[in-house]
Amino acid sequence: MIGQTSLASLPRLRDYTSPRISSYDITGGNADAWRIEQGETKVLAEIDSPGCLKHLWMTLGIKSEDYCRRIVLRFYWDGCKQPSVECPIGDFFGLGHGVRKNFITLPLQMSPQNGKGFNSWWPMPFGEHARVEAEN
Protein backbone atom coordinates (compact mmCIF):
# COMPACT_ATOMS: atom_id res chain seq x y z
CA MET A 1 0.00 0.00 0.00
CA ILE A 2 1.33 3.42 -0.94
CA GLY A 3 -0.55 5.21 1.86
CA GLN A 4 0.18 8.89 2.35
CA THR A 5 3.61 8.95 0.71
CA SER A 6 4.45 11.30 -2.13
CA LEU A 7 3.85 8.40 -4.54
CA ALA A 8 0.12 8.33 -3.67
CA SER A 9 -0.64 11.10 -6.18
CA LEU A 10 1.64 9.77 -8.93
CA PRO A 11 -1.13 8.56 -11.30
CA ARG A 12 -3.29 11.68 -10.77
CA LEU A 13 -3.74 13.95 -13.80
CA ARG A 14 -2.69 17.55 -13.26
CA ASP A 15 -3.51 20.70 -15.19
CA TYR A 16 -0.05 22.16 -15.82
CA THR A 17 2.95 21.82 -18.06
CA SER A 18 6.43 20.97 -16.88
CA PRO A 19 8.87 22.88 -19.11
CA ARG A 20 12.61 22.32 -19.12
CA ILE A 21 15.42 24.81 -19.59
CA SER A 22 18.66 23.27 -20.73
CA SER A 23 22.08 24.08 -22.11
CA TYR A 24 21.64 21.41 -24.78
CA ASP A 25 23.52 21.82 -28.05
CA ILE A 26 20.93 23.20 -30.49
CA THR A 27 23.11 22.07 -33.43
CA GLY A 28 22.64 18.43 -32.42
CA GLY A 29 26.28 18.10 -31.39
CA ASN A 30 27.73 17.22 -28.02
CA ALA A 31 28.53 20.72 -26.71
CA ASP A 32 26.01 20.58 -23.86
CA ALA A 33 27.33 23.49 -21.83
CA TRP A 34 27.24 27.23 -21.30
CA ARG A 35 30.68 28.73 -21.00
CA ILE A 36 30.88 31.61 -18.51
CA GLU A 37 34.11 33.55 -18.75
CA GLN A 38 35.70 35.17 -15.69
CA GLY A 39 33.76 38.34 -14.82
CA GLU A 40 30.82 37.35 -17.05
CA THR A 41 27.20 36.89 -15.91
CA LYS A 42 25.07 34.34 -17.78
CA VAL A 43 21.27 34.14 -17.64
CA LEU A 44 20.47 30.47 -16.99
CA ALA A 45 16.67 30.85 -17.00
CA GLU A 46 14.18 33.58 -17.84
CA ILE A 47 10.53 32.58 -17.30
CA ASP A 48 7.58 34.89 -18.04
CA SER A 49 4.67 33.08 -16.39
CA PRO A 50 3.67 31.87 -12.93
CA GLY A 51 5.55 28.76 -11.93
CA CYS A 52 7.80 26.93 -9.54
CA LEU A 53 11.40 25.86 -10.00
CA LYS A 54 11.40 22.30 -8.70
CA HIS A 55 14.74 20.86 -9.76
CA LEU A 56 18.07 22.44 -10.58
CA TRP A 57 20.81 20.19 -11.91
CA MET A 58 24.17 21.34 -13.14
CA THR A 59 27.79 20.36 -13.38
CA LEU A 60 30.86 22.54 -13.45
CA GLY A 61 33.88 21.83 -15.59
CA ILE A 62 36.19 24.13 -13.68
CA LYS A 63 39.62 22.88 -12.67
CA SER A 64 40.17 25.56 -10.01
CA GLU A 65 39.95 24.28 -6.42
CA ASP A 66 37.89 27.28 -5.27
CA TYR A 67 35.15 27.05 -7.91
CA CYS A 68 32.48 26.46 -5.25
CA ARG A 69 33.13 29.99 -3.96
CA ARG A 70 33.86 31.74 -7.28
CA ILE A 71 30.59 31.06 -9.13
CA VAL A 72 27.72 33.16 -7.71
CA LEU A 73 24.05 32.29 -8.27
CA ARG A 74 21.33 34.95 -8.28
CA PHE A 75 17.56 34.34 -8.33
CA TYR A 76 15.14 37.18 -9.09
CA TRP A 77 11.37 36.80 -8.63
CA ASP A 78 8.47 38.83 -10.00
CA GLY A 79 10.29 41.94 -11.17
CA CYS A 80 12.36 42.58 -8.03
CA LYS A 81 15.50 44.59 -8.80
CA GLN A 82 17.51 42.91 -6.03
CA PRO A 83 18.03 39.13 -6.04
CA SER A 84 16.10 37.09 -3.49
CA VAL A 85 18.96 34.59 -3.49
CA GLU A 86 22.58 35.62 -4.01
CA CYS A 87 25.27 33.21 -2.89
CA PRO A 88 28.23 31.14 -4.05
CA ILE A 89 27.16 28.02 -5.91
CA GLY A 90 28.72 25.74 -3.30
CA ASP A 91 26.72 27.36 -0.49
CA PHE A 92 23.47 27.10 -2.46
CA PHE A 93 23.99 23.39 -3.03
CA GLY A 94 25.04 22.67 0.57
CA LEU A 95 28.83 22.79 0.29
CA GLY A 96 29.56 25.22 3.11
CA HIS A 97 32.96 26.93 3.13
CA GLY A 98 33.65 25.56 -0.35
CA VAL A 99 34.56 22.12 1.00
CA ARG A 100 33.69 19.57 -1.71
CA LYS A 101 32.10 16.40 -0.34
CA ASN A 102 29.63 13.92 -1.76
CA PHE A 103 26.31 13.80 0.13
CA ILE A 104 22.63 13.02 -0.34
CA THR A 105 19.71 14.65 1.52
CA LEU A 106 16.05 15.09 0.66
CA PRO A 107 16.38 18.61 -0.87
CA LEU A 108 20.03 18.50 -2.01
CA GLN A 109 22.44 16.01 -3.54
CA MET A 110 26.07 16.61 -4.42
CA SER A 111 28.66 14.45 -6.08
CA PRO A 112 31.44 16.97 -6.76
CA GLN A 113 34.30 14.54 -6.24
CA ASN A 114 33.42 11.97 -8.85
CA GLY A 115 30.50 13.19 -10.98
CA LYS A 116 30.59 16.91 -10.25
CA GLY A 117 26.77 16.85 -10.08
CA PHE A 118 24.87 19.62 -8.27
CA ASN A 119 21.17 18.91 -7.54
CA SER A 120 18.56 20.96 -5.68
CA TRP A 121 14.92 20.00 -5.20
CA TRP A 122 13.94 23.06 -3.12
CA PRO A 123 10.59 24.27 -4.52
CA MET A 124 10.92 27.95 -5.47
CA PRO A 125 7.53 29.38 -6.51
CA PHE A 126 7.01 32.70 -8.28
CA GLY A 127 3.93 34.64 -9.34
CA GLU A 128 4.77 36.06 -12.75
CA HIS A 129 8.48 36.06 -13.56
CA ALA A 130 11.73 34.30 -12.65
CA ARG A 131 15.31 35.00 -13.66
CA VAL A 132 18.30 32.85 -12.66
CA GLU A 133 21.86 34.05 -13.27
CA ALA A 134 25.34 32.71 -12.67
CA GLU A 135 28.41 34.95 -12.45
CA ASN A 136 31.98 33.74 -12.73
Residue 30 lies in a domain: no
DSSP state of 80: -
Question: Which pLDDT score, from 0 to 100, does residue 105 have?
Answer: 86
Q: What is the dihedral of CA 55, 63, 115, 10, to 10 degrees?
A: 0
Q: Specify whether the CB–CB gap between 109 and 122 falls below 8 A.
A: no
pLDDT along the chain (136 residues), means of 10: 58 74 81 87 94 89 80 96 95 84 86 78 94 96
Residue 130 lies in a domain: yes
Angle at 88 between CA 87 and CA 92, to 5 degrees: 70
Q: Residue 93: which CATH number? A: 2.60.120.1390
Residue 67 lies in a domain: yes
Q: For 84-112, how does the pLDDT look when each residue is reduced to its tens digit (9 = 90+)?
A: 999 999 899 988 877 778 888 888 988 86
Question: Which pLDDT score, from 0 to 100, does residue 7 have?
Answer: 67
Question: Which pLDDT score, from 0 to 100, does residue 2 have?
Answer: 44
Question: Which pLDDT score, from 0 to 100, does residue 22 have?
Answer: 83
Residue 84 lies in a domain: yes
Q: Find the domain containing 84 and state its range.
A: 37-135
Question: Which pLDDT score, from 0 to 100, does residue 1 have?
Answer: 42
